[in-house]
């Protein structure tokens, strides 16, 4: 079935990822042809600043008019690696309208508007693939939506942001504070000049929304994801974690409720036991732990970002989408039939590690314990430490709802004997 007319690809964006996609499409053209069953060629590359195009990218393919490229009429597949909401969204829509399938690495857009884009793809009989949008090179979208298509996923627990994992790993291994570790991440190119999207958890939250939607066959939007950044994690938190046999990771957690009738999605720093496979994910690596009813516990590990790894994911999707084009079919589209609602953070059930600064006098522990009991939060362990008239109390709870924990902490703050709540951290992965 080797056809002679090559499949034509329009590449939107030619930065770190796009230039790698262009390079590999050129250097590995024969392999791609063999794997697709037909030659595939770069028909055009749309960029904003043509002066910035990297060496090795064919200059004659460069255009600044992305819309005209997508509208050309002979494009089989549009590869979108611009990122951001606009003009990516409009260009993808235009691509579908002109008969192209789309491979995208755009997590923000997929998390924000995935349902509408999927609907548009289906309307036009096109594919929308986006393996590269979640955890870079790690195959995750395909395993979740295809390999586990006969199973029931109950939980996804992942390190899906390399920048923050690098910072937390550095704090863990060197004892550095947050600012010092961030500076090192910036110097090494792991953190951007403005690290907000990473350290405040926005990037991870977009990935959590995408993962939760696929895992539970429902729709989860970015706004549905509870989000806490990791800028307030301290060296003291790591010391506390170590005492518990834990480390601290920024986790994206998607769960099906115990009754199966709703789901939750959240991103926040959490303590996890050192024995958990995610605890040993170092530096800027990503890893996602999946719990499914029949499969049990699976983990997918690899580089979560970077030009080459992301290009690998884009090209895997490109091969699949091209094969579908040749076979005049489409791959699996959106699967959101369960229509499970997303519950608010207050309904999440987990364990908590709370550090309190308290007055160093008799009866404080009894007072604190009473507050926990009044709010139905059961205490697992308590550790008291005195220091110069002040004392600290570290409480680790059994499982309780986030709402109950919040109410407990509110009441603790009102106690005269509690000088302050030094930290509250969730404990996951047990």
Residue written as tokens 């009754």?
259
> Is the separation of the CB atoms in 384 and 360 below 8 Å?
no
Select 87 or 331, whichever has its Cβ closest to a copy of itself: 331
Strands 101-104 and 128-129: parallel
Select 155 or 419, whichever has its Cβ closest to a copy of itself: 155
Name which position in 89, 118, 142, 207 contacts a copy of itself (CB under 8 A): 142
Select 277 or 346, whichever has its Cβ closest to a copy of itself: 277
Name which position in 70, 78, 108, 137 contacts a copy of itself (CB under 8 A): 137
> Is the separation of the CB atoms in 153 and 425 below 8 Å?
no
Show contacts with a copy of itself in window 148-187 (CB under 8 A). 148-152
Show contacts with a copy of itself in window 322-351 (CB under 8 A). 323, 327-330, 332, 335, 337-338
Q: How far is the CB of 398 from a copy of itself (least distance, A)?
A: 26
DSSP string covering 196-233 = HHHHTSHHHHHHHHHHHHHHHTS---GGGSEE--STT-
Select 26 or 231, whichever has its Cβ closest to a copy of itself: 26
Q: Which two tokens stand for residue 142?
A: 């395909």
Active site residue 361: no
297 binds a copy of itself (CB under 8 A): yes
Q: CB under 8 A: which stretch of 55-63, 174-182, 305-313, 405-413 binds a copy of itself?
A: 305-313
Distance, in Å, from the CA atom of 175 to the CA atom of 125, rounded to the nearest integer, reads: 54
Distance, in Å, from the CA atom of 428 to the CA atom of 249, rounded to the nearest integer, reads: 10
Between helix 16-27 and helix 29-36 the angle, nearest 10°, is 80
Distance, in Å, from the CA atom of 275 to the CA atom of 245, rounded to the nearest integer, reads: 8
| Coil, strand or helix at 354 | strand
By CB under 8 A, how many residues form the interface with a copy of itself? 58
Greatest Cα pair distance, the chain, in angstroms, is 86
Show contacts with a copy of itself in window 195-214 (CB under 8 A). none
| Per annotation, catalytic residue among 207, 249, 325, 387 | 207
362 binds a copy of itself (CB under 8 A): no
Q: Would residue 186 be called left, alpha or beta, if left means φ above 0 and alpha means ψ between -120 and 50 degrees?
A: alpha
Q: CB under 8 A: which stretch of 182-190, 199-207, 308-316, 387-395 binds a copy of itself?
A: 308-316
DSSP 8-state class, residue 342: B
6 binds a copy of itself (CB under 8 A): no
Q: Which two tokens stand for residue 191?
A: 């953190």
Q: How far is the CB of 35 from a copy of itself (least distance, A)?
A: 5
Select 152 or 221, whichever has its Cβ closest to a copy of itself: 152
Select 205 or 315, whichever has its Cβ closest to a copy of itself: 315
Select 325 or 351, whichever has its Cβ closest to a copy of itself: 325
Show contacts with a copy of itself in window 35-94 (CB under 8 A). 35
DSSP 8-state class, residue 145: I
Phi, psi of 43 (to 5 degrees): -95, -20
Name which position in 24, 233, 356, 358 contacts a copy of itself (CB under 8 A): 24
Residue written as tokens 């350290």?
199
Select 328 or 388, whichever has its Cβ closest to a copy of itself: 328
Q: How far is the CB of 295 from a copy of itself (least distance, A)?
A: 4
Select 98 or 152, whichever has its Cβ closest to a copy of itself: 152
| Coil, strand or helix at 3 | coil
Name which position in 222, 302, 377, 407 contacts a copy of itself (CB under 8 A): 302
Q: How far is the CB of 328 from a copy of itself (least distance, A)?
A: 8
> Is the separation of the CB atoms in 3 and 41 below 8 Å?
no
Q: CB under 8 A: which stretch of 82-90, 186-194, 222-230, 290-298 binds a copy of itself?
A: 290-298
Q: How far is the CB of 261 from a copy of itself (least distance, A)?
A: 15
Name which position in 5, 28, 48, 52 contacts a copy of itself (CB under 8 A): 28
Show contacts with a copy of itself in window 219-278 (CB under 8 A). 277
H/E stretch holding 371 reads helix 364-374
Catalytic residues: 207
Instruction: Give the interface with a copy of itself as residue ranges (CB under 8 A).
Output: 20, 24, 28, 31-32, 34-35, 131, 137-139, 142-143, 146-152, 217, 277, 280, 287, 292-303, 306, 308-309, 311-320, 323, 327-330, 332, 335, 337-338
């Amino acid at each position: 079935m080797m056809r002679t007319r090559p499949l034509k690809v329009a590449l939107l964006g030619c930065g770190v990822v796009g230039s790698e996609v262009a390079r590999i499409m050129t250097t590995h053209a024969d392999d791609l042809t063999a794997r697709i069953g037909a030659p595939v060629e770069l028909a055009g590359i749309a960029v904003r600043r043509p002066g910035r195009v990297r060496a090795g990218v064919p200059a004659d393919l460069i255009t600044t008019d992305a819309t005209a490229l997508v509208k050309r009429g002979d494009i089989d597949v549009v590869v979108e690696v611009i990122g951001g909401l606009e003009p990516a969204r409009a260009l993808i829509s235009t691509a579908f309208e002109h008969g192209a399938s789309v491979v995208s690495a755009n997590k923000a857009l997929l998390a924000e508007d995935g349902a509408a884009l999927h609907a548009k793809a289906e309307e036009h009989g096109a594919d929308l693939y986006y393996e590269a949008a979640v955890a870079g090179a790690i195959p995750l979208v395909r395993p979740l939506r295809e390999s586990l298509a006969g199973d029931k996923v109950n939980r996804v627990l992942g390190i899906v942001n390399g920048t923050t994992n690098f910072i937390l790993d550095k704090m863990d291994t060197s004892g550095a504070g947050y600012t010092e570790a961030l500076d090192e991440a910036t110097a090494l190119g792991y953190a951007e000049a403005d690290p907000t999207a990473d350290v405040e958890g926005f990037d991870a939250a977009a990935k959590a929304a995408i993962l939760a939607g696929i895992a539970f066959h429902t729709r989860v939007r970015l706004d549905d994801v509870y989000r806490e950044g990791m800028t307030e994690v301290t060296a003291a938190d790591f010391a506390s974690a170590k005492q518990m046999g834990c480390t601290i990771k920024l986790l994206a957690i998607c769960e099906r409720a115990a009754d199966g009738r709703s789901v939750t999605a959240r991103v926040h720093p959490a303590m996890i036991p050192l024995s958990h496979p995610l605890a040993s994910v170092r530096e800027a690596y990503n890893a996602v732990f999946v719990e499914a009813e029949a499969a049990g516990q699976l983990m997918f590990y690899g580089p979560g970002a970077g030009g080459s790894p992301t290009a690998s994911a884009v090209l895997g999707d490109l091969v699949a989408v091209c094969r579908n084009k040749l076979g005049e079919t489409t791959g699996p589209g959106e699967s959101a039939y369960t229509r499970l609602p997303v519950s608010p953070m207050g309904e999440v059930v987990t364990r908590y590690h709370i550090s309190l600064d308290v007055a160093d006098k008799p009866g404080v522990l009894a007072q604190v314990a009473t507050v926990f009991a009044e709010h139905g939060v059961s205490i697992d362990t308590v550790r008291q430490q005195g220091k110069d008239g002040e004392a600290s109390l570290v409480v680790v709870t059994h499982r309780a709802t986030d709402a109950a924990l919040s109410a407990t902490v509110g009441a603790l703050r009102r106690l005269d004997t509690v000088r302050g709540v030094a930290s509250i951290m969730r404990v996951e992965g047990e």
